Chains A and B, each alone.
Chain A
Amino acid sequence: MVRTSTVPNPQTTRTELGERQTRRQFASLTLVLVTMLVVPFGLRALNMLAPAETGTPSYLPALEPIWERQMAFDANVVADLKVLQADYVLIGDSMAGSRVDPTDLANLLDPRGVAPIYYAATGSAFWYLAIKNWIVPSQTHPRLIIIFFRDENLTDPMFRVTGMYRGQLDRVARDHEGVLNDILAAHTQGAWFRVHAFADRLFQVERARRWVEPMLVSAPLDVAARGKARRSLLDRMNTELFKLDALRQMAPADMAQGDASTYDFRRNVNRSVLPEMLKIARRAGIKLAFVRVQRRPEGGKPPAQSSELQQYVRDLKSYLEQNGALFHDDWGDADQPLSIYADGDHVSSEFRRQYTENFVRKNPAFFR
């Protein structure tokens, strides 16, 4: 074989060199992107150094991965409902409790009974679980379940499920609450919560977060206080400095006015427990009724409602009626002036009977 030497074409060489470098630059970009995804796997290694975890997995991991129940599931309610076989079940928080007296209602209607499921400081997540885990398993068949709520409560499943309210759910929740968890996860982690869950499994994000975050948050305590004061500082900050009545712009009640996004019914309904409530009730052959209580009147008038809230109520009414539920709105009721109110949105106990009587009179469709 004869080897021939060729003179390189400078133009070609430059182009080839350029192309090679371009390929290398693309490789470098790929390297950066891949490294970016690989480094977080280091969290798994980091977690091995962390102290071992104790505790029971939460039934609502969207809120917290580990949860020690403050109380056990209350099976007595199921048993009581089974015995009572009430015609009407009333569900709600102190709004319902301060308005309708179950004994007075039973006396007015003379039905087999009225069962109140009144739990103060609860929200729609609790009420949904009450239907699912208490009423339906009790195999009672009430004529109607009446749920009392304020404004956007029904489409805000996050209302009273965190902080000091969290423990309330224990009494009504089973060990697995997948549907409620998915609904809450859609709020805490957005519509893409399943992607977040995948990333969590992949990189052990929450596991790392559970020991890194407290370390970071407690580090400044050493600078701020010493000894006993250090240990109690965070608690005292919450209970003394940032307690509810130290905050400004306190609404007359414990629930502030919402904004346009809060009152976007169509956007929020499918991320709420409301469709599930209706579904469970339908399956069990139970009719639901929803009562929107009037919030505290202002200046001798019913409380002002933004155009968004008015639209929200219209949409809610139409949605409930399409799904076979009953709806009543207390707003603007001339029999509910400011004088019958106690604190916040609560009705004064002396007007409870009056409210109950009016409630029966004004809702004949509920009590046919």
Chain B
Amino acid sequence: MIFHSLEFLTFFVSTVTVYWMLPHRWQNVLLLVASYVFYGWVHPWFLALIFATTFIDFWSALGMERWPEHRRRFLWLSIVTNFGLLGSFKYFNFFVDNVAATAALVGWHVSPPVLNILLPIGISFYTFQSMSYTVDVYWGHLKARRSFLEMAVFVSFWPHLVAGPIMRASNLLPQVEGERRFSAPAARDATLLIAWGLFKKLVIADNVGVIANKVFALKAPDFYLLWAGVFAFCIQIYADFSAYTDIARGSARWLGFELTSNFDHPYLATGPTEFWRRWNISLTTWFRDYVFLPMSYALSRRLDDVRWLGLRGDVWIYAIATQVTFLLSGLWHGANWNYVIWGGYHGLLLVVARVMSPRRKRRRGRGGRWLAPLQGVGMFALTCVGWLIFRETNLSMLARDLVLSPFASTPLQKQAGVYLFVLALLYSMPLWIQSAWAALGAPDLTAALIPTRDVHGKPLPATSPAPDEAAPRWPAVVSQGCLCGLLFAVVLILRSRASLDFIYFQF
């Protein structure tokens, strides 16, 4: 079921209505049923996979506590099952194709078996989320849960099931287990989040997506058309993915849950490190905690004292761990080499930034902070190169694209490129205004109307009764209503006629 459909509206209204009439335990039962209906709406067989993941991880975690001497075995059971399912459905064809291609290089021609099955949407997301639970239990950060129902709700919680944000067990499980109460201000804010998300998806992402798709359908785009298309894709992927997160967070808030934010104006980043603090935050921190840090720790025992090519051991540790983490992150996005290259490219940017960081700090000390806008533009350009790698699945086309000259274009190509670029810019203007608003130090455009933070800037816990008991600020309420109405009206008249699926569904 997709968010921007009337099926979803019916599903959402009926679920929320019944949900708040039920006692806590039955709320969880309803959440589980609703999540399974949501996920199995088109392909009911997907449910078998999510159930298998839940079942194995639930019992693995319990096994770790019951038989501590076999903890490692239970962890491996969980890892092998989860990655086995993920690998079979997502990477099997990629793997056999590459084996066959390698065999062909040595003159051994084989016709590899092809798995003709649909990739279950969201499998990468819920697998990672469920895995984080077993790893946390293994590390002793978390107690194994006794309630299968609550574990199943944690794994399948429908608002974020298909495209994140990836929630940690330590964050979401207590919310599943705890009593929740309806909060009218939270529901109000949630409505605005959902309206903003739908606007970003249907008006911005889908309209600029048409431009990107048009350009990437060309056999030989010229420099101007290509980069107009890349810019459009750059907008599309952010608007699309962050829209899903907003709608997911809004839907969860209506149910009394608070999901973590996944984006923080990523295109304002002035460097690669900052970009990854702002982009797909839940996935980045997942990789940081479960891949990068353990690997850095393991490497530090071997490489701490080395000094190669004039670089200290800690830089090498960072470089190796970062590259491996980002190559895996690239592979997580899809079973194709362009995603791996994209991961490697970002890993490389991070390593270069790390090596250059002492120099940057010195420059900043000498008034280099005035360079920040330039650094922002530079980082945006580097990000666009990354999105080209991400979008172009044909590697020979990618090689051609990267060496295109702006001087080889005809006047018509140049005009068309400029036209498509400005059109994409026009559609994305609300996003830039929101980011500029944030860059100027003003509160986030939507957060300005959403009282999710207290006076000290700390987020209010979703279950806190405080907002309900405080007097509503009527001007803010009217502004919220008008903004929601305006977004709804613009969605009605400017939604793209080519409604596209959320991009991250395929991952």
Contacts and interface: CB of A to CB of B under 8 A. Distances in A.
A209 B493 contact: yes
Given A42-B489, A203-B489, A236 B468 contact: no
A21 B470 contact: yes
B485 A35 contact: yes
B149 interface: no
A197 to B, nearest CB: 12
Contacts of A28: 184-185, 188, 472, 474, 477
A39 B485 CA distance: 5
Interface stretch (A241-249, A291-299, A312-320, A333-341): A241-249
Contacts of A280: none
Contacts of B468: 18, 21-22, 25
A interface, over-half SS:
helix
A32 B192 CA distance: 9
Interface in B237-264: none
A17 B118 CA distance: 56
A223 B418 CA distance: 8
B419 interface: yes
A17 B183 CA distance: 16
Contacts of A213: 493-494
Given A21-B469, A24-B471, A32 B188 contact: yes
Interface stretch (A88-96, A104-112, A142-150, A214-222): A214-222
B493 A212 contact: yes
B412 interface: yes
A22 B469 contact: yes
Interface string B444-487: 00000000000000000000000111111010011011101110
Contacts of A241: 218, 225, 412-413, 416
Nearest to A229: B415
A240 B412 contact: yes
A32 B492 contact: no
A26 interface: yes
B419 A233 contact: yes
Contacts of B412: 233, 236-237, 240-241
B423 interface: yes
Interface residues of A, number: 56
A224 interface: yes
Contacts of A36: 191, 195, 481, 484-485, 488
Nearest to A17: B469
B114 to A, nearest CB: 10
A2 interface: no
Contact of B489 (A22, A39, A237, A247): A39
B413 to A, nearest CB: 7
A39 B477 contact: no
Nearest to B412: A236
Contacts of A224: 415-416, 418-419, 422
Contact of B494 (A22, A33, A216, A307): A216
A111 to B, nearest CB: 45
Nearest to B419: A224
Q: Which of B470, B486, B493 has the most CB of A within 10 A?
A: B493
A190 interface: yes
Contacts of B183: 25
Interface string B99-118: 00000000000000000101
A195 B185 CA distance: 29
Given A21-B471, A240-B412, A306-B116, A220 B489 contact: no
A25 B472 contact: yes
B423 A208 contact: no
Interface string B390-431: 000000010000000000000111011011101101110000
Given A220-B426, A221-B419, A190 B481 contact: no
A1 interface: no
Contacts of A18: 468-469
Contacts of A220: 418-420, 422-423, 425-426
A188 B419 CA distance: 27
B79 interface: no
Contacts of A191: 6-7
A307 to B, nearest CB: 6
A22 B468 CA distance: 5
Contact of B481 (A32, A208, A223, A246): A32
A83 to B, nearest CB: 43
B301 interface: no
Given A22-B469, A195-B6, A307-B116, A246 B484 contact: no
A255 to B, nearest CB: 16
B64 to A, nearest CB: 39
A359 B443 CA distance: 73
Interface string A74-117: 00000000000000000000000000000000000000000000
A43 interface: yes
Interface in B131-148: none
Nearest to B497: A188
A40 B481 contact: no
Contacts of B218: 241-242, 246-248
Interface in A283-311: 306-307
Interface string A39-69: 1101100000000000000000000000000
Contacts of B488: 36-37, 39-40
A220 B425 CA distance: 9
Given A224-B416, A242-B218, A35 B492 contact: no
Q: Which of B183, B219, B425, B427 has the most CB of A within 10 A?
A: B219
A61 to B, nearest CB: 14
B440 interface: no
A97 B219 CA distance: 31
A136 B494 CA distance: 41
Contacts of A192: 5-7
Contacts of A27: 472
A20 to B, nearest CB: 9
Nearest to A242: B214
Contacts of A38: 485
B217 interface: yes
B184 A26 contact: yes
A225 B481 contact: no
B16 interface: no
Contacts of A39: 481-482, 484-486, 488-489
B10 to A, nearest CB: 9
B37 interface: no
Contact of B477 (A32, A190, A219): A32
B225 to A, nearest CB: 7
B324 interface: no
B219 A246 contact: yes
A190 B4 CA distance: 11
Interface string A181-222: 000000010111001000100010100110011001101110
15 contacts: A21-B471, A22-B184, A27-B472, A32-B192, A39-B485, A39-B489, A40-B489, A40-B492, A203-B489, A209-B493, A212-B494, A223-B422, A233-B419, A236-B416, A306-B116
Interface of A: 17-18, 21-22, 24-29, 31-40, 42-43, 188, 190-192, 195, 199, 203, 205, 208-209, 212-213, 216-217, 219-221, 223-225, 229, 233, 236-237, 240-242, 246-249, 260, 306-307
List the 3 closest A-B pairs by CB distance, nearest first. A39-B485, A35-B481, A220-B422
